[in-house]
Amino acid sequence: MKRVFIQHKSPPPDARKKVRRELSEASEVVPASDVSEYDWSRLPQELLLHIFQYLPLLDRAYASQVCRGWNQAFHMPELWRCFEFELNQPASSYLKATHPDLIKQIIKRHSNHLQYVSFKVDSSTESAEAACDILSQLVNCSLKTLGLISTARPSFMEVPKSHFISALTVVFVNSKSLSSLKIDDTPVDDPSLKVLVANNSDTLKLLKMSSCPHVSPAGILCVADQCHGLRELALNYHLLSDELLLALSSEKHVHLEHLRIDVVSENPGQHFHTIKKSSWDAMVRHSPKFNLVMYFFLYEDEFGPFFNEEIPVTHLYFGRSVSKEVLGRVGLHCPRLVELVVCANGLRPLDEELIRIAKHCTQLSAIGLGECEVSCSAFVEFVKMCGRRLSQLSIMEEVLIPDHKYSLDEIHWEVSKHLGRVWFPDMMPTW
Amino acid sequence: MAPNSIHWFRKGLRLHDNPALREAVRGAGTVRCVYFLDPWFAGSSNVGVNRWRFLLQCLEDLDANLRKLNSRLFVIRGQPANVFPRLFKEWKISRLTFEYDSEPFGKERDAAIKKLAMEAGVEVIVKISHTLYDLDKIIELNGGQPPLTYKRFQTLISRLDPPEMPVEPLSDTLMGCCVTPVSEDHGEKYGVPSLEELGFDTEGLPTAVWPGGETEALTRIERHLERKVKQSANFQRTNKRFQLYEIHLNLFLEMNANSLLASPTGLSPYLRFGCLSCRLFYFKLTDLYRKVKKNSSPPLSLYGQLLWREFFYTAATNNPRFDKMEGNPICVRIPWDKNPEALAKWAEARTGFPWIDAIMSQLRQEGWIHHLARHAVACFLTRGDLWISWEEGMKVFEELLLDADWSVNAGSWMWLSCSSFFQQFFHCYCPVGFGRRTDPNGDFIRRYLPILRGFPAKFIYDPWNAPESVQAAAKCIIGVHYPKPMVHHAEASRLNIERMKQIYQQLSRYRGLGLLASVPSTNGNGNGGMMSYSPGEQQPGTNNNNNNNNSHCKSRFNPAEAIFFFS
């Protein structure tokens, strides 16, 4: 073992001041005359721990080089509860990666300390595989939270499924008290969910699994049936079923806090199933405060099954063009709506639809309109009706069409007046 | 002893409204106008043939106009720092004049030249005329920081004195006794080179859609204003408020298929090269407005095109890393994908999305695209579909786009990719729908992608959805004669919205569910609302590598991490 011995270096004045303050609060009172000769290597470990927790990893590492005592403190378990592994390849990312030697160290010395772990991978398969390799080695690990995050393209989907599943299973089996799991865009499947449930049903509170194509409605239903503490769930619409909603509303189940649903069209003209109003009603009865977040990425003509009956959605995002007619239905059937964001609508004014939304969606506090058209008068009317509850109003400048009552320059004063704060539409550079 | 002057042209390629040039001739014995052809044109050598041609045409025009005043343009190969000392001696120069360049690279270069000049006993006179205002004054008014929202910017300039009036163009009268010694072999030594001499193969090169030069610029501006008068006249008949509105440079209302095409009244490349003085444009707009609206005060939106340009110049002037993500204090660190193959498809108009490919084709062929077209392709490359860094897009625009100079190009790319300026990121331009709504018939597509001419309007924006019979009839099979779409837009936008949301939520520390609230709002001075929001840093205290702005480290790992590892 090659070791570099570094002289005691006097820490910077502010650190010294900090320690002095800490010292006076500690049970041991040191006479003032001794402070300047205080031996830094004898600083109590609890104090070191407290200080180190303020430092980013790099600074801590530098500190750990100062002396043996500080090096020991650096390796205290409490400092290794959280870690974010960043796995990037120079060919596919501009960002730096966690050093492989550091990773080895962590696995060797700290894997049983780790509790809150996330993996951020870039779009290369290599990075995702490296993440799986690390996961496979965390056999002494009892994780509380695990996040698998792809920062660009979903590279976990490129990893051979068996490799991914076996790595994930290691975590599920060893953890036994997993409370939060983020596995969006991964090849997780029904059998692995069963393993998750078998080991962690008492503790699982949060599960995010949008775009996991190998999971079936039955698979997720199994989770809902067994994990009664589940409070937050994110998945794709094809996994949603009446049974799932009923399971989440069963007496044994805690109140649900967030349900996030992504509705994504694979091919034009895709047909989507409907969810019964009674299932939604059951959800609301069971969890009156729950938030239902729905993101739609559909072609205009695929909205047939949606918004025909009352639905308790609170946050709605239309990521592609949505028709005037559908927005009209939203106004009628979404009384709990808090946020509405529309990417694009087209070239017919949404005056009536907006007024209707202002009237019926009494909880609405945020609205965003992209490529749409609204006449200035209708817009002012809308803002008047909503009043100060509108804390977010993001309207692209081109949306507002001046009419006989208001020009563009006048409208922002009117709107600001009703909002109770200075407001301007969003602008795009034109040069 | 009347001084011998050099006027140094960089931008500001005009004889009208050129206060620095006037200083060169004032009381001077001789004046020589020089232009250096150095590899640092516009900060890089990444310049396509359209831009070179435009520049050469500007220089030819300058030379022609100077000839009318018995003078000439001196085109000099080489770098100013190397050549100036020789010229100072040879021509016995005692005065050097040039137009102020606000860009960080320009300021550095000019400081070095000023030093050289001082050492040679040459008086240096610099005048502001590329921007409407003295940008340093705007920054000072904002407490030492450039405003980061356009609204804040507008508020600040409304507090400033109006821009200075344009000065008289150079004339025989102004020249007075000042002469330009021109040798017999001037053409050989100092003539404007041709494209061929610069190494371009011009065989088959179509004529320029945007001819360069001051003369062309001045013709265009008259046409531009005539058009505005006609439009306002039309609306006077219908509706008073619309008349007011139409004069505004809000292009969206006029947006139709024709707007996408190069307009004979378009001015942006001429403003960029300085063939057209922005102050002249400003005052002509003001005059026109006053004529039509009978002496009332024009709203700021009248000058939209000029003010956006000014905004980006102001934001960039003190930030040498304005065109980078790393180490740029105003730029959000987004984990863009590195994908040269995908980037090439976008740059070379092979994405398989006709709307995107037609725009990129027009850009490459002609050197200009409509601003909404820019939004569409920029969104597609970055936060919309390909998730590729805006810096890559900026480089492609730099090569191909006639009006893209350093500040405006970088600033716009950051804006459009939601990397700065507190932009909401929810509105994604659909590469199919947006085009279809702008030009339902698809004429623009057919013009720039002739291979798709045979497709009916119904399928021309998404030809991969056309039945085989339609493709066969159009003599264009998707996947064979024209590429298949390179991404699945719904899936890509779903992923990317999620990425943007994660990044912004981490930055703003927002824990709620709203999409809009993830983006921090600004406080009054447009400098960033939440104390903790600083786009150039991510949160401290996390075990996170990419915290440190180690922008100058070449290693892919944080080098200090290597110290950990003795075991």
* Predicted confidence (pLDDT) per residue in A293-339, tens digit: 999 999 888 999 999 999 999 999 999 889 999 999 999 999 999 99
**Contact assessment for residue B271 and residue B403, using Cβ atoms and an 8 Å cutoff:** yes
Q: What is the mean pLDDT of chain A?
A: 88
> β-pairing, B123-127 with B95-99?
parallel
Find the residue in B nearest to A103 (Cα): B565
Q: Among candidates B97, B160, B159, B96, which has minimal Cα distance to B129?
A: B97
Alpha carbon of B402: minimum distance to chain A alpha carbons (Å)? 12
Q: Among candidates B382, B371, B410, B415, which has minimal Cα distance to B148?
A: B415
- Cα B368 from Cα A272, distance rounded (Å): 43
Q: How many CB pairs under 8 A join A and B?
A: 249
Averaged over A32-52, what is the pLDDT? 73
Q: How many CB atoms lie within 10 A of CB B472?
A: 12
- Cα B422 from Cα B420, distance rounded (Å): 6
In the predicted model, is pLDDT for residue B385 greater than 50? yes
Contact B562 A101 (CB under 8 A): yes
* Helix extents (H) in A27-149: 32-35, 45-52, 57-64, 68-74, 100-105, 125-137
Judging contacts by C-beta atoms under 8 Å, the chain A residues touching residue B432 are: none
Percent pLDDT > 90 in chain A is 64
Contact A297 B301 (CB under 8 A): no
Averaged over B445-450, what is the pLDDT? 96
Q: No. of H helices and E strands in chain B?
A: 22, 5
Find where tokens 């004049």 sit. B97
Contact B301 A408 (CB under 8 A): yes
What letter does residue A110 receive in the DSSP assignment? Answer: I
Contact B566 A1 (CB under 8 A): yes
Q: pLDDT tens digits for B3-55?
A: 999 999 999 999 999 999 999 999 999 999 999 987 544 334 578 899 999 99
B405 is in an annotated binding site: yes
Averaged over B481-490, what is the pLDDT? 95
Contact B387 A152 (CB under 8 A): yes
Contact B491 A101 (CB under 8 A): no
B245 is in an annotated binding site: yes
Residue of B513, B538, B553, B554 to mutate when probing chain A, most A C-beta within 10 A: B513
In the predicted model, is pLDDT for residue B469 greater than 80? yes
Identify the helix (H) or strand (E) that includes residue A260.
strand A258-264
In the predicted model, is pLDDT for residue B196 greater than 90? no
Contact B151 A210 (CB under 8 A): no
Q: pLDDT tens digits for B105-151?
A: 999 999 999 999 999 999 999 999 999 999 999 999 999 999 999 98
pLDDT band at B251 (very low <50, low <70, confident <90, very high): very low
Q: Which residue did the predictor score with more confidence, B537 or B344?
A: B344
Q: Which of A240-249, A271-280, B157-166, B259-268 has the lowest mean pLDDT?
A: B259-268
> What pLDDT does residue A164 have?
97
Alpha carbon of B90: minimum distance to chain A alpha carbons (Å)? 42
Alpha carbon of B564: minimum distance to chain A alpha carbons (Å)? 7
Judging contacts by C-beta atoms under 8 Å, the chain A residues touching residue B561 are: 58, 61, 98-99, 101-102
Q: No. of H helices and E strands in chain A?
A: 16, 14
Token pair, residue A95, equals: 């960002």
B67 is in an annotated binding site: no
Residue of A110, A419, A431 to mutate when probing chain B, most B C-beta within 10 A: A431
> What pLDDT does residue B92 have?
96
Q: Among candidates A415, B307, B474, which has minimal Cα distance to A423?
A: A415
Contact B151 A347 (CB under 8 A): no
Q: How many CB atoms lie within 10 A of CB B164?
A: 17
In the predicted model, is pLDDT for residue A44 greater than 90? no
Instruction: Decide: helix, strand or coil at residue A240.
Output: coil
- Cα B273 from Cα B220, distance rounded (Å): 15
> What pLDDT does residue A37 have?
64
Alpha carbon of A198: minimum distance to chain B alpha carbons (Å)? 30
Contact B545 A86 (CB under 8 A): yes
Q: Fill in the amino acid letter for B15.
A: L
Token pair, residue A358, equals: 């202002």
Q: Among candidates B89, B34, B40, which has minimal Cα distance to B62?
A: B34
Q: Nearest by CB to A94, from B252, B389, B514: name it.
A: B389
Beta strands in B79-138 (DSSP E): 95-99, 123-127
Find where tokens 């205009």 sit. A300
Q: Among candidates A188, A193, A187, which has minimal Cα distance to A172?
A: A193
Q: Fill in the amino acid letter for A283.
A: M
Averaged over B544-552, what is the pLDDT? 40
In the predicted model, is pLDDT for residue B564 greater than 60? no
**Contact assessment for residue B386 and residue B478, using Cβ atoms and an 8 Å cutoff:** no
> What pLDDT does residue A36 have?
57
- Cα B315 from Cα B414, distance rounded (Å): 12
Q: Nearest by CB to A151, from B335, B513, B555: name it.
A: B335
Alpha carbon of A370: minimum distance to chain B alpha carbons (Å)? 5
Find the residue in A nearest to B466 (Cα): A268
Instruction: Decide: helix, strand or coil at residue A38.
Output: coil
- Cα A163 from Cα B547, distance rounded (Å): 31
Contact A407 B244 (CB under 8 A): yes
Instruction: Decide: helix, strand or coil at residue B435.
Output: helix
Q: Fill in the amino acid letter for A20.
A: R
* Helix extents (H) in A141-202: 161-175, 190-200
In the predicted model, is pLDDT for residue A10 greater than 60? no
pLDDT band at B544 (very low <50, low <70, confident <90, very high): very low
Give chain B's length.
567
Averaged over B534-554, what is the pLDDT? 41
Most confident of A229-243, B41-55, B189-203: A229-243
**Contact assessment for residue B29 and residue B4, using Cβ atoms and an 8 Å cutoff:** yes
Averaged over B88-95, what is the pLDDT? 96
Most confident of A125-134, A416-425, B32-41: A125-134
Q: pLDDT tens digits for A162-208?
A: 999 999 999 999 988 999 999 999 999 999 999 999 999 999 999 99
* Helix extents (H) in A303-423: 324-333, 351-360, 376-386, 408-419
How far from A336 is each of A245, A248, B69, CA to CA, in Å? 18, 19, 75
How big is chain B by its Cα radius of gyration, in Å?
A: 26
The DSSP result for A412-428, as a single string, is HHHHHHHHTS----B--
Contact B338 A94 (CB under 8 A): yes
Find the residue in B nearest to A56 (Cα): B541
**Sign, CA torsion B404/B407/B408/B413:** positive
Q: Among candidates A376, A410, A421, which has minimal Cα distance to A395?
A: A376
> What pLDDT does residue B255 have?
62
Task: Give how far the C-alpha of residue A113 lies from the chain's centroid of Cα atoms, to the nearest Å.
Answer: 24
Find the residue in A nearest to B149 (Cα): A427
- Cα B415 from Cα B311, distance rounded (Å): 12
Q: Nearest by CB to B513, from A264, A291, A394: name it.
A: A291
Q: What is the mean pLDDT of chain B?
A: 86
> What pLDDT does residue A34 have?
53
Find the residue in A nearest to B252 (Cα): A398
Judging contacts by C-beta atoms under 8 Å, the chain A residues touching residue B325 are: 94
- Cα B230 from Cα B233, distance rounded (Å): 5
Q: B457-462, long-range: CB within 8 Å, 24+ apart, which pairs? A: B460/B354, B461/B353, B461/B354, B461/B355, B461/B432, B461/B433, B461/B435, B461/B436, B462/B432
Q: Which of A265-274, A387-396, A402-411, B53-62 has the lowest mean pLDDT?
A: A402-411
Alpha carbon of B401: minimum distance to chain A alpha carbons (Å)? 12
Side-by-side strand order, sheet with B4-9? B73-77, B30-37, B4-9, B95-99, B123-127
Q: Which residue did the predictor score with more confidence, B491 or B392?
A: B392
Alpha carbon of A345: minimum distance to chain B alpha carbons (Å)? 10
> What pLDDT does residue B566 have?
37
Alpha carbon of A363: minimum distance to chain B alpha carbons (Å)? 13
> What pLDDT does residue A286 have?
96
- Cα A195 from Cα A190, distance rounded (Å): 9
Alpha carbon of B203: minimum distance to chain A alpha carbons (Å)? 32
Judging contacts by C-beta atoms under 8 Å, the chain A residues touching residue B548 are: 56, 58
> What pLDDT does residue A6 have?
39
Contacts of B445 (CB under 8 A, 6+ apart): B354, B355, B358, B435, B439, B452, B460, B461
> What pLDDT does residue B556 have?
55
pLDDT band at B352 (very low <50, low <70, confident <90, very high): very high
What letter does residue B123 receive in the DSSP assignment? Answer: E
Contacts of B450 (CB under 8 A, 6+ apart): none
**Contact assessment for residue A134 and residue A163, using Cβ atoms and an 8 Å cutoff:** no
| ipTM of the modeled complex | 0.86
Q: What is the pTM of this model?
A: 0.89
Q: Among candidates A405, A400, A397, which has minimal Cα distance to A428?
A: A397
Q: Fill in the amino acid letter for B250.
A: N
Beta bridge partners of residue A151, listed in sequence order? none
B88 is in an annotated binding site: no
> What pLDDT does residue B278 have?
96
In the predicted model, is pLDDT for residue B534 greater than 60? no
- Cα B125 from Cα A356, distance rounded (Å): 64
What letter does residue A121 receive in the DSSP assignment? Answer: E
pLDDT band at B227 (very low <50, low <70, confident <90, very high): confident
B305 is in an annotated binding site: yes
Contact B437 A347 (CB under 8 A): yes
In the predicted model, is pLDDT for residue A32 greater than 90? no
> What pLDDT does residue B1 have?
80
> What pLDDT does residue B550 have?
36
Instruction: Decide: helix, strand or coil at residue B477.
Output: coil
Alpha carbon of A297: minimum distance to chain B alpha carbons (Å)? 6
N-to-C CA span, chain A: 63
Find where tokens 């509705």 sit. A263
Judging contacts by C-beta atoms under 8 Å, the chain A residues touching residue B543 are: 56-57, 82-84
Contact B545 A346 (CB under 8 A): no
B357 is in an annotated binding site: no
Percent pLDDT > 70 in chain A is 91
Beta bridge partners of residue B126, listed in sequence order? B98
In the predicted model, is pLDDT for residue A411 greater than 80? yes
Residue of B427, B500, B567 to mutate when probing chain A, most A C-beta within 10 A: B427
How far from A259 is each of A230, A235, A320, A343, B477, CA to CA, in Å? 10, 8, 21, 22, 43
Q: How many CB atoms lie within 10 A of CB A162?
A: 9
In the predicted model, is pLDDT for residue A267 greater than 90? no
pLDDT band at A1 (very low <50, low <70, confident <90, very high): very low
In the predicted model, is pLDDT for residue B552 greater than 50? no
Beta bridge partners of residue A318, listed in sequence order? A296, A342
Contact A394 B494 (CB under 8 A): no
Q: Nearest by CB to A83, from B491, B543, B550: name it.
A: B543
pLDDT band at A41 (very low <50, low <70, confident <90, very high): low
Quote the Cα angle for B551-B555-B558, to 5°: 75
Q: Fill in the amino acid letter for B552.
A: H
Q: Nearest by CB to B426, from A211, A338, A368: name it.
A: A368
Give the phi and the psi of residue B95 in degrees, each rounded to 5.
Answer: -140, 130
Q: pLDDT tens digits for B470-482?
A: 999 999 999 999 9
How far from B149 is each of A187, B43, B503, B517, CA to CA, in Å? 42, 26, 20, 17
B307 is in an annotated binding site: yes
Q: How many CB atoms lie within 10 A of CB B476?
A: 20
Find the residue in B nearest to A412 (Cα): B151
- Cα A92 from Cα A166, distance rounded (Å): 26
Instruction: Decide: helix, strand or coil at residue B313.
Output: helix
